[in-house]
Each structure stands twice: as C-alpha cells, then as structure tokens.
Structure 1
Amino acid sequence: MQLIIVTILMLYFGLGILATQYLNRRPDRPYAKERWVKLLYYFLILAIVFSAIHFHQARPLAIVIAILGLYELIRAHMQSPRPNTQFCLFVLVYLFIVFSFIRFSSQASIESLFYLYFIVVTFDGFSQICGQLFGKRKLALRISPNKTVEGLIGGLTIALLSSLLLFQPMQVPFLQNLLVTGFVCLSALFGDLLASWYKRHYQLKDYSNLIPGHGGILDRFDSFIFSGAMYLFIFP
C-alpha cells in the first residue's frame, strides 16, 4: 500500500506543478516565485513525513511538530496584548489536541498513518489548487479568506475518489470507506480553520517563517494534527 500511495502522490504532485505553471501565467506574476518555493518545500515536507512513518519515527516527528507548534503559539501571544488567561486556555486546548495526536502517532499502524496523511495531503492540496483555479465563493471569509466552497468541493471529491481507488482492491466496505475518508477530510478542514482563527485572533499573517513559503509549522501541520487526534477518538 505504501508504494501505491507514494505513486499516487507523485502523480498528484505532477498535477500541482502543471497547475502552478498555469497560475503563474496570470497577471499576479509577483506571486510566481512564492508559489514555486511553496511547492518545493511542500514536496520536502511530504518526503520527511512519509520517511518518518516508513522508518517508524512517527512519534518523534509528532513530538517535534508539537513543540514547534507550541513555540509558535507563544510567539503569537508575545506579540499581542491579549490577556494571559485567554492564552492559557488556548494552550490547554492545544496541549490536549497534540497529546492525542502524539498518542495516535505512537499507537497507529504504519498503514493507518500512511492512510491518514495521504488523505489529509490530498484533500489539502487539491482544495488549494481547485480554490485557486475555480474559487469564487468564500467559505469562511473572516477566518480564512483564501478558502472557497469550490476548493472544498474539489479537495473532498479528489480525496474520496483517491480513497476508493486505494482501498477498493483491499475489499474495504464502500460505505465505511466513504464515511471514514469524509470524517478525516472534515477534521482536517476544522483543524485548519481553528489554526487560522487563532492567527486572526492575534492579527497575524503567519505563525512564523520556519518553513519558507508557508505560514509556519502550525499552518502546515494543523490539518494533520487535528485529524490525527480525532481519528484516535473515533477509532481507538
């Protein structure tokens, strides 16, 4: 299954390159370099995460992500006059989520980890691509201005079709396949919106510049963290 997932992702990454080339022909050419940098680092992140899962290092990676995410939350608070009590509540919620995420990374099988990250990456990637190509109606303007209804539909459709393509030969029940994949996608979306809301709450554009072209560790891994935590609760 791992080889199939990697092969599918390479095909999707090729589509991402084509989409980036097309988008860079539009009038907003100043963003062309930024799109290529973001795509390059996105590929490196994929390679690191899937390598960590393959070599049974998902738990250490999850701990590193959690620590860097906490650093970004603290950094955001230090740049704002928001009350400390409010920040403490946010941190408690965050620690509860990442603790569950670390447990998931420790207890889940390699197949489950590959599946979850594959679905999250597919949903997230195609939501961005479809949103940039076809997006017109805003999904959550005040929280995440770049998200669109068209992007959500596109990402969810590709993720569901990819899941069917991957698991149908393994005789996973059709309805179960759709429900689990849909749950993972919606969890990923909610985690993304939650992280975006926190940024807007502190009036930040990015959490940090730890990943060039991306909005920080939390901006890149928020979907994975939250969907992993939710997966643990539903499928312990």
Structure 2
Amino acid sequence: MKKINSEFYDLQIRIISGLVFGALGLFSLALGGLIATVFLAFCLAVLGWEILYIFSNGNVVDTRVGKIIPIILFLVPILNFYDFYPVIILLSTALASTFYSESKVLKMFCMLYVSLSVLMFQEILFSEKLLHNFYNLLLVVGAVASSDIGGYFFGRIVGGPKIYKSISPNKTWAGSLGGVLCSVIACLLISPLFDHSLSWACFLGFVLAVSAQAGDFFESWLKRKFKMKDSGVLLPGHGGFFDRLDGLLAAVPVYCGLVFFM
C-alpha cells in the first residue's frame, strides 16, 4: 500500500489544480467571443514568458524583453479576432527583431510554435468552415487530456522500460500505449457528436495521442537542455502553463491539418 501511495504522492494536487484550470478554461471558451479570445491571449502571454524563463534559466523577470514579449503575444489573438492580419505580421516582425541580435533560432521557433498553436486553437473555435466548433475543441482537449491521464496511470502502475530516459526519465512504453488507448476511447465516446465512423475516431485518437506525446517530449527536451525542472509555478503539481499544455500545443496544429485539408 505504501508503494502504491508513493507512486501517486502528487496526484491530489495535480487533480485539484488541473480541474480548476480546466474548468476555468472550458467555461471561458464556451462563452466564446471576446471572453474566449482574452483567455487565449492570456495563455499565450504566459507561455511566451515561460519560454523566456526557460531560456534565461529563471532570470527573465526583471528584463526588458521579459516585460515586452508577453504584452506583444497577448495582443496577437485579440488582433486576430478582429481580423487585423497586417498588424499581426508587424507584431511578429517586431518579435523576431527582438531576438535577431542574439541569434536565438530555437527561442524564436518556440515563440512561433506556441503562437501558431494558439492561433490554430482560435481557428477551431471560431472558423465558419467547421460545424460544431466547440465540439471540435472538446474532441481535441478530451483526446489530449485522456492521453495524459492514461499515460500517467499506466506509467505509474505498470512501469516497465523507459522510452527515452535521458530526456524524460518517467516516460515508459506502457504509459505511452496506455495514453494512446485512452485517447482512442475518448474519441470514440465523443465521435457521435460528429457522426464520425469508428475507424476515423480511432485514427483521430491515435494521431492526437502521438502528437501530444511528441509535444510533451519536446518540452521535456527543452527543459533538460536548459537545466530547468519546470517552465513555471502557476499550476501546482504541474509546474507552468507550458508543462500543462505541451501536448495540446502539438496536437492542435495536427488536428487543424486533418479537419481543414483532408
């Protein structure tokens, strides 16, 4: 019993903080319009700050860049909501020029990565090309969350060989397969809202789980590279927003590619 308890020592705080953040997020997104946009803008601003936090080994707080970049990123989804595309291009150019002198290609990639992912999330929520926009959002979030939950429990209970110990020492093959299984089940449960075939639902569950796990590994690699344990401290039991949303940030562009181009 003690061994089982030790495997889940952080579960309670993870559940509480995850439920609070998830409920707040889904409520804001369900309201739609400017409220949902402001929530996404806030998330993007925090993600940008956390990327700077990782790259600076936690010393970004008092820097000029640490104050300016989150403000720029906060404006991007709001301007996109009002179709101010030229302004977004100008802001992106300003953002790029901030890093040019430092030659931080990886940093720039990370900024563009989270920005484009949030904008694609916004596209899923508001695009007129999709039917049942909020249901599409629920499908992606549900699949990724199920993959995370399945990976956590299967990994802790079954254990077994590690996937890539030097990057993510706690990730096991059992956890990965369990995550895929739970993601597929989630898509099967949600698919009746779209009249999806069983084969398409299974395909979505598999692809979204693999994408989410790839995003998780990328963020783990990034933190290892800069010797950071967490991307932030805003979500107890999880770390930062980047720690919690890493899988979703990778899965959303993949889902957009599937629903808009297939």
Instruction: Quickly name the TM-score band, shorter chain normalised.
Output: 0.7 to 0.9
TM-score when normalising by structure 2? 0.72
Alignment-derived partner of residue 67 in structure 1 = 45
Once the two structures are superposed, residues 104-146 of structure 1 have per-residue CA deviations (whole angstroms, 9 ceiling, x without a partner) of 2222111111110011101111110110111111012111111
Structure 1 residue ranges, 4+ long, deviating more than 6 angstroms after superposition: 84-87
Give 5+ residue unaligned stretches, structure 1: 1-21
Q: Secondary structure of 1:235's match?
A: helix
CA RMSD of aligned residues (A): 2.5
Q: 1:7 maps to which residue?
A: none
The answer to whether the aligner puts 1:42 opposite 2:15 as a matched pair is no
Deviation at 1:235, TM superposition (A): 2.7
Verify: 1:209 aligned to 2:225, yes or no: no
Letter in 1 for 2:212: A
In structure 2, relative to structure 1, the CA distance for the partners of 1:44 and 1:206 (3 Å cut) is same
Deviation of the 1:29 alpha carbon: 4.5
Distance 1:225 1:157 in 2: 20
For residues 202 and 85 of structure 1, the distance between their equivalents in structure 2, rounded to whole angstroms, comes to 20
2:62 is the alignment partner of 1:52: no
- Within a 5 Å distance, the mapping from 1:154-173 to structure 2 comes to 154-168=178-192, 170-173=194-197
SS in 1 for 2:171: strand
Aligned ranges 1:124-203 → 2 under 5 Å: 124-168=148-192, 170-203=194-227
Counterparts of 1:5-154 in structure 2, within 5 Å, are: 25-26=2-3, 29=6, 32=9, 34-56=10-32, 57-79=35-57, 88-108=104-124, 109-154=133-178
Where relative contact order (Cα < 8 A, 6+ residues apart) is larger, the structure is 1
Matched AA of 2:217: L
Q: Is the 8 A contact 2:29 2:36 kept in 1?
A: yes
Which amino acid is 2:178 matched to?
Answer: G
Q: Tell me the CA shift for residue 80 of structure 1.
A: 8.1
Instruction: Please state how far the C-alpha of 1:167 moved relative to its aligned partner.
Output: 1.6
Deviation at 1:154, TM superposition (A): 1.0
Taking structure 1 as reference, are residues 80 and 55 closer, same or farther at Cα in structure 2, changes over 3 Å only?
Answer: closer
CA gap of 1:181–1:58, structure 2 versus 1, over 3 A, is farther
Between 111-120 and 174-183, report the one with greater CA deviation. Answer: 174-183
Q: 1:71 to 1:142 in 2, by over 3 A?
A: same
The DSSP-based 3-state class of the residue aligned with 1:171 is coil
What is the TM-score with the length of structure 1 in the denominator?
Answer: 0.79
Q: Distance in 2 between matches of 1:51 and 1:61?
A: 10
Give the number of equivalent residue pairs. 210
Which residue of structure 1 lines up, in the alignment, with residue 70 of structure 2? none
Query: In the alignment, what sits opposite 2:90?
Result: none
Structure label with greater radius of gyration: 2
1:235 corresponds to 2:212? no
* Residue type at the aligned position of 2:166: R
> Mind listing any 5+ residue stretches in structure 2 that lack a counterpart?
60-99, 125-132
- AA in 1 matched with 2:177: I
Q: How many percent identity over aligned positions?
A: 20
SS of the residue aligned with 1:162?
helix
Deviations along 1:32-61, whole A, 9 cap, x unmatched?
Answer: 3x3321221111122122212211144332
Structure 1: how far apart are the matches of 2:159 and 2:152?
Answer: 9
Deviations 1:2-51 (CA, angstroms, capped at 9, x unpaired): xxxxxxxxxxxxxxxxxxxx7xx32764973x332122111112212221
